[in-house]
Structure 1
């Protein structure tokens, strides 16, 4: 049965390892750089305008945020990376938290969702995150957001560049997505539901 992403509720922000949720429910880890529209993708997915900002105010940029979906799975919103305006100490704290999450929680990640900007070649940080997902062994879905910003003729070359940069095979999932217009939403929900056996 498909997961109902419209039934979503904020559960917790975790800033330290002891606050990570470990109740056995599937977890979908969402990652992406700060300006890629990760919150907008999540909000489009759950059909709300501001869910992803709950518990993620500016002072909590280094937190891992958990949202319960349909009482059956968690959407785990990881801190945005690559944001130039935060201090080095903040970046280091984020890196340590992320490292801990991927080391300690790897077997709890049901699927990883890496959000990239369809208009640009994936960054070094995107590649690092992609490697982290691969090392956990969980299925990864790459979401190429901001589809609405491209002309139709630009989409295929942009998707090819992302595939080549991340070294994706034909079997790897790459979904063109528009948080603005909703393109790709149904496909992403379908793959996430399949990942947790639905």
Structure 2
């Protein structure tokens, strides 16, 4: 079977949902993006899909209050999860966001890969580490994107990536760590390739599984 060609730039906004009951049918393959509210998640999504305003960005962290769904065709989706940690919002609203996030992570069967975004200057806060460990326990591959990497000089950036990679590998057996900048597109090609490889590999596995079931 020829590996499918994945084009993230074809992503189109589908809907925003307050919880998993309002999401599309739980089938196909989803790669979710999660991170603290000030990690630059929306900017990273726009850069990865080569679109200026696919995901709404704001100078006020924490504006992603819903689960946002972006379709890239053939039952593949990118999922923008509510930001966590930083947002200056009422406690009740924050609890509601966190419940939607946890419910999606725990119950969504089509979730097959997780991109965790962390400011390279402030990585691996408690919630970041918890999320990475949870993904490991659930057998999900993780791409840790160290955002705002343009804020550091090259030598300092390389040292930070090495240190964070070592720490992440203690939390997860199948994790890739990549410096990333939406401003100068640092790390874009590598991150894009990792995500596209996830989609392609998982589709091949699903196809092989279906063929095996048909032959039995």
**TM-score, reference length from structure 1:** 0.88
Q: What residue is the counterpart of 1:175 in the other structure?
A: 178
Structure 1 37/61 Cα, relative in aligned 2: closer, same or farther at 3 Å? closer
| 120-129 or 163-172: bigger deviation | 163-172
Q: State the Cα deviation string for residues 80-128 of structure 1 (Å, max 9, x = none).
A: 11124111101111111112111211x3112100011112232112112
CA distance in 1, matches of 2:196, 2:145: 16
Match of residue 48, structure 2, among 25, 45, 48: 45
Alignment of 1:79-94 (within 5 A): 79-94=82-97
Is the alpha carbon distance of 1:196 and 1:37 closer, same or farther for their aligned partners in structure 2, counting shifts above 3 Å?
same
> Is contact 2:71-2:78 (8 Å) kept?
yes
Look at both structures and tell me which one has the larger radius of gyration over its CA atoms: 2
2:141 counterpart (139, 143, 146): 139
Match of 2:128 in 1: 126
Match of 1:108 among 104, 107, 110: 110
* C-alpha spacing 1:122/1:137, structure 2 compared with 1 (3 Å): same
Q: Is the 8 A contact 1:62 1:97 kept in 2?
A: no
Paired residue total: 195
Q: Write the distance in 2 (CA, Å) between the matches of 1:49 and 1:143.
A: 19
RMSD after superposition: 2.4
Cα separation, partners in 2 of 1:91 and 1:23, compared to 1, 3 Å: closer
Q: Give how far 1:60 is off.
A: 6.8
Deviations 1:36-79 (A, max 9, x none): 1100100001111111019xxx9974311000124451110001
Structure-2 change in CA distance of 1:74 and 1:157 (3 Å): same
Shift of the 171–138 alpha-carbon distance from structure 1 to 2, 3 Å rule, reads: closer
Give ranges in structure 2 of 5+ residues lacking alignment: 202-216
**Aligned with 1:157 (options 156, 159, 170):** 159
Q: Report SS of the residue matched to 2:9.
A: coil
